Structure 1
C-alpha cells in the first residue's frame, strides 16, 4: 500500500510520519466531538496517525494520502492525485481520476499499456510518480475473462480482504457478497505483468480522464472538456455511490466528492483544480469525462451499465489520438462536446438523448441531475471564477 524501502534504505530508516493501527479497538464514542466508534486521526504537528475501530486496510494508505495532499502542494508545488495512471508503448501517459467503483483500477490495467499505479500519484514538474508499492483492487464478481490482469495478480503474497472462500479447498468465491460487496485484494505492484518499474515516468500526461459512474443514465459515455469544464467537473467530483462501497449503501446514490478525493483534502478544492488546469494547459493535454455508468436509462428505470468492451473501445480511440480529431456535437443540458462517432461503439450510445428508452421522461432526469450539480457547487462559488461557474451551465438551473 506504500512504497517499500530497500534493505539498504532500512539500515538508516527514520519515518517522517508514524501510523498507529489499533483497528480492532473502538474509539470512545463519548469523547467530545466523537460521533462514531471508528476514528482516523492525523496530527500534522506531531506527524502521527491513529486508526481506531476499523480493520479496513485501506485506512492506512488513505491516511498517508491525506498527509501528501498537504505536504506536496504546500512544500513542493507538486499536485497530489487520486488517480490511476498508465503509459503507452509510445510513451504517452494517461491519468484516470475517479471514486471507488468508477473503474480506476480496471481501466488502468491494460495489457497494451504499462501500469504506473492504480490509485495514488503525484504530478511534478518532471513527470508523474506513484506513491504506493502495490494495488488495492475491488474483486467482487472478479473473473479471469473480465479482468485477467487483476485476476492473475492474486497469488501467493497477495492479501484478500472480506472475501468468502471454501475452508477445505481454499477456493475463493468472488461472486459471494455475504460479508460485503466491498471485497478487496492488496498485491505488490509488480504482480501486474506489464507494470512500469520503477513506478514513475519523466513524461507528462497526454490525456486526463475524469471517471464517473452515472446511475441515472443521463451523462454521455464520453465528453471532451474545456479548461473551465475540467475545473468544474473536477471540483464537483460526481458519481453514483454504488452498493457495497460504503456501509449502509444498498442502492445507487448520487454523490459529490471534490477533486474525487474530498475526505483527504487538506486545502480548498480550488487550489488543486487550478494546479490541474495549469498543468493541463502547460503540457497541452486532452481532458475527458468518461461515464462508466448506465446507458439507455437509469439503474432503476430499465437501463444497463455501459459494456466494458465499449468503454475499452473509447479508451483505445483516445489513446490512438483518433477521438480528439472526431466531429463533436453539443450535449446541451451540460454543454458537453460529445463525439458523433467512435470506432467500436454504436453511434446512438454516444448521446443519451438518442439512446434513452427508460420508463421516465429523459428531460426530467437530466434536470434532476443538473439541479444536484448546482446545489453542490454553491459551496465553492465564492472561490470559483465566472468562467468555471458558467462551464456547468448553472444559470439555466438557478432560476
Structure 2
C-alpha cells in the first residue's frame, strides 16, 4: 500500500478487448488513486464494478490515515510523506483519450442547457459529473443543470456519480461509440456502424401497456397490448434506473415527435449507449438551440436495454420488457438493445395520444406531394413497395413511415428515416444509398475490416439490417415535413404472391375500411419442409404491432376523412401477375406500377371505365395509360398451372377467416364489402 501511494510512474494501461465474458480494466496514474472497472456483458457484474471501485477507495483512505498517524510517531523507520489531499478531481490527462473527450464536450458543447438557479440565455457547459470519485475525472461543481435537476427529482438519477451527457453533437457521439462500445466503427461512407446485441429486431410479444384508470377503457387489450399492473411497472422502472445509475455516463437526447407544432409531443430519451443516443437524435425532430434551453418533456424513455428484466416478475414471459405508461407518460426498455423499440414505442404513444386527445388520425404510411400540392398517402407492410413508390422524382417526400392526418392536413411524425439495408445498392435505391454518410448510423451490417466497405447483401447477423439517417439527407424532401392540403389519393399497397388480386382496384368507402382493417400482404414460401405456397399475412391498419386502440376506431376515422375531403382510395397490388409465385407467375414490373401511379396522380385513372372483379367484388379499370389491358384483370391474364377460381376462393376464405375477430365492431356495409366465398361443401 505504501508503494501504491508513493507511485510516480507514468500512466500505464492494460486493456483486453471485451468479449462475451467480459474483461478487467486496470489503470494506474501518478495523479489519481487506483481505479478498477469491470466491463462485462454479464449483467450482475455491471453492478459489482461500482462496489469494487468504492471498496478500493476505502482501503486507500484507511491506509492514508495510518500513514498520518505513523508520521507523528517518534519512529523514523515509518516516517513517510503526507499524501496530497485534493479538493478537486484531476483534470483530464493528455494520454487518456476518453477523459479528454469528456472535457472537450464540457467546454464546448453545442446543445447545452441553462443552470437551474435561474441564469438564462447563457450557454453553459454540458452536464457532467461533479465529484472527485467520478471515473472520468471531471472538475467538480456545486451547480447542476436543469436537465440534471429534473432527472434527479423525477427519476433519482445520481448526478453526483453519473456523467449526464446532454444533447451531444454527432461528432461527440461518434467518439464515445468508438471509445466505449465494442464493435463500433466508421464505415467507408462515413456512417457509424453499431450492433444491437442478441436482439436484431423488435420483440412484439414483450410489449406491455400499464393498465391504469385514465387509459384503461380506450386501449385495445389482447395479444397486441398485454396489460401490466402499476406495481410491476414500478419494479421495472426502478430496475432500469438502478442500472443507469451504475453507468459512468448516460446520454440525454431531447426532440419532438410531429412536425405540426399544434400536436407535436416533446420526447426525452435517457440511455446508456451512444448508439441509441445517435439513433434517436436522427429519428426525432431536432429542436433549435433556443428550444433546447428550456426543454421539458411530455414523454420520457428510460432505455436500460443492456440489462434484463426479471422474468420471474408477475406477467413477464422473458427477460425483455418494453413497457409504456400513458398516465405517467414514460416508457421503460429492459432486455433488448434494438434501437427500433424506441422509435416504435413513440409511434404507439402517438397512436394513443392523437386520436384520443386531439381527434387526429395516426397512420403507418409514407406520403408525398405533387407540384400542385396534391398529397398521396401510401399504406403497406414490409416488402410491398411503400418506400420505393413514395420516393418519386416528380414529387416531394413528406415522410417514409409515420404520419398524422389532422383537420389541417398531413404531417410527418419523425425527423429521420429508418430504412432496410439488405440488398441495398446505388442502382436500386439511390436516395437511401446516398443518405448513408456521416451522421447516419448503420445497424447490424457486415463490412470489410480493411476497407470498411459495407456488404449490404450479407445477412450473417440478420436480414433486418438497417440505417437511420436525418430525413434531410434525402434530396427530394419537403422541409418542414408537413402539408396543409388533405390527401387526394389513399393507396393501400399489397404484395399478393398468389397472383389473384388485380394490379389496381378503385375502392368504395366501405371497401377501404375492410381492406384497411385487414392489412393483407403475403410472404414467399420458405425453405421449411412442407411449406409449398405463399403465406398470407394480415396486420390490422397495416400497423397491428403498434396500435393502442381497436382497429375499427382508426378505420372509422379514415373513412370519415376520405368522405369529408373527397379522396379517392385504391388497392394497388405490387405482387405477382399471370399466376402465383410458385405456379408460373412473375412479379408485376415496376414500370407498370409506376405508370398506374402516374395515372392516379394525373386523375386519368378515375375517369376510365370499370368492371367488377368477382369474389372480391372489386372495381377494376378496363384500361390504364401505358399498361397492357390484359394485365389489369387476373381472370384474363391468368396462365398458371393452378386452378384460377380455386386460388381466388382460397385467398377470399383467408380474408373472411381473418376478419371474424372484427365482426362485432364492424357495420353490415363493411362486412358486405369483403370477399364472398360459398362455404357449402361441393358435391
Structure-2-length-normalised TM-score: 0.56
Task: Determine whether 1:364 maps to 2:646.
Answer: yes
Deviation at 1:53, TM superposition (A): 2.9
Contact 2:511/2:674, CA 8 A, preserved across alignment: yes
Distance 1:333 1:220 in 2: 12
> What is the aligned counterpart of 1:64 among 336, 341, 346?
346
Q: Deviations over 1:51-80 (max 9, x none)?
A: 233333221111111111111011101001
Deviation at 1:276, TM superposition (A): 0.4
Task: Determine whether 1:125 maps to 2:407.
Answer: yes
Deviation at 1:214, TM superposition (A): 1.4
Contact 1:126/1:203, CA 8 A, preserved across alignment: yes
> What is the aligned counterpart of 1:319 among 601, 605, 611?
601
> What is the aligned counterpart of 2:446 among 164, 175, 184?
164
Contact 2:499/2:581, CA 8 A, preserved across alignment: yes
Task: Determine whether 1:151 maps to 2:433.
Answer: yes
Contact 1:328/1:339, CA 8 A, preserved across alignment: yes
Deviation at 1:241, TM superposition (A): 4.2
Contact 1:297/1:357, CA 8 A, preserved across alignment: yes
Deviation at 1:372, TM superposition (A): 0.9
Distance 2:456 2:487 in 1: 34
Task: Determine whether 1:11 maps to 2:293.
Answer: yes
| Corresponding residue of 1:385 | 667
Name which one, 1 or 2, has greater alpha-carbon Rg.
2
Contact 1:236/1:377, CA 8 A, preserved across alignment: yes
Deviation at 1:30, TM superposition (A): 3.2
Contact 1:370/1:397, CA 8 A, preserved across alignment: no
Query: Which is worse superposed, 172-181 or 5-14?
Result: 172-181
> What is the aligned counterpart of 1:332 among 592, 611, 614?
614
Distance 1:22 1:361 in 2: 54
Distance 1:67 1:348 in 2: 45
Query: Which is worse superposed, 77-86 or 105-114?
Result: 105-114
Distance 2:522 2:482 in 1: 31
Contact 2:398/2:482, CA 8 A, preserved across alignment: yes
Deviation at 1:242, TM superposition (A): 6.1
Deviation at 1:252, TM superposition (A): 4.9
Structure-1-length-normalised TM-score: 0.94
Structure 1 residues 232 and 242: alpha-carbon distance in aligned structure 2, compared to 1, 3 A threshold: same
Distance 1:397 1:320 in 2: 41
Distance 2:377 2:524 in 1: 22
Q: Deviations over 1:82-104 (max 9, x none)?
A: 11100001110000111122122
Distance 2:305 2:594 in 1: 38
Contact 1:101/1:242, CA 8 A, preserved across alignment: no
**What SS does structure 1 have at the residue aligned with 2:664?**
helix
Deviation at 1:386, TM superposition (A): 0.7
> What is the aligned counterpart of 2:624 among 331, 342, 346?
342
Distance 2:541 2:441 in 1: 29
**What SS does structure 1 have at the residue aligned with 2:419?**
strand
Contact 1:109/1:150, CA 8 A, preserved across alignment: no
**What SS does structure 2 have at the residue aligned with 1:233?**
helix
Deviation at 1:29, TM superposition (A): 3.3
Query: Which is worse superposed, 193-202 or 288-297?
Result: 288-297
| Corresponding residue of 2:273 | none
Q: Deviations over 1:85-130 (max 9, x none)?
A: 0000111000011112212211111111101000101000000000
> What is the aligned counterpart of 2:416 among 124, 134, 140?
134
Q: What aligned pairs does 1:68-217 form with structure 2 within 5 A after superposition?
A: 68-217=350-499
**What SS does structure 1 have at the residue aligned with 2:663?**
helix
Deviation at 1:280, TM superposition (A): 0.5
Distance 1:164 1:242 in 2: 25
Query: Which is worse superposed, 352-361 or 72-81?
Result: 352-361
Query: Which is worse superposed, 172-181 or 311-320?
Result: 172-181
Distance 2:620 2:348 in 1: 34
Contact 1:295/1:305, CA 8 A, preserved across alignment: yes
Distance 1:250 1:12 in 2: 59
Query: Which is worse superposed, 56-65 or 224-233?
Result: 56-65
Q: Deviations over 1:241-292 (max 9, x none)?
A: 4699xxxx99952111111111221211111111101101111111001111
Contact 2:655/2:675, CA 8 A, preserved across alignment: no
**What SS does structure 1 have at the residue aligned with 2:596?**
helix
| Corresponding residue of 1:236 | 518
Structure 1 residues 214 and 30: alpha-carbon distance in aligned structure 2, compared to 1, 3 A threshold: farther
* Structure 2 alignment gaps of length 5 or more: 1-282
**What SS does structure 1 have at the residue aligned with 2:636?**
helix
* Structure 1 alignment gaps of length 5 or more: none
Distance 2:412 2:661 in 1: 31
Distance 2:554 2:378 in 1: 16
Residue correspondences, number: 395
Task: Determine whether 1:259 maps to 2:544.
Answer: no
Which protein has greater RCO, CA pairs closer than 8 Å, 6+ apart?
1
Query: Which is worse superposed, 360-369 or 388-397?
Result: 388-397
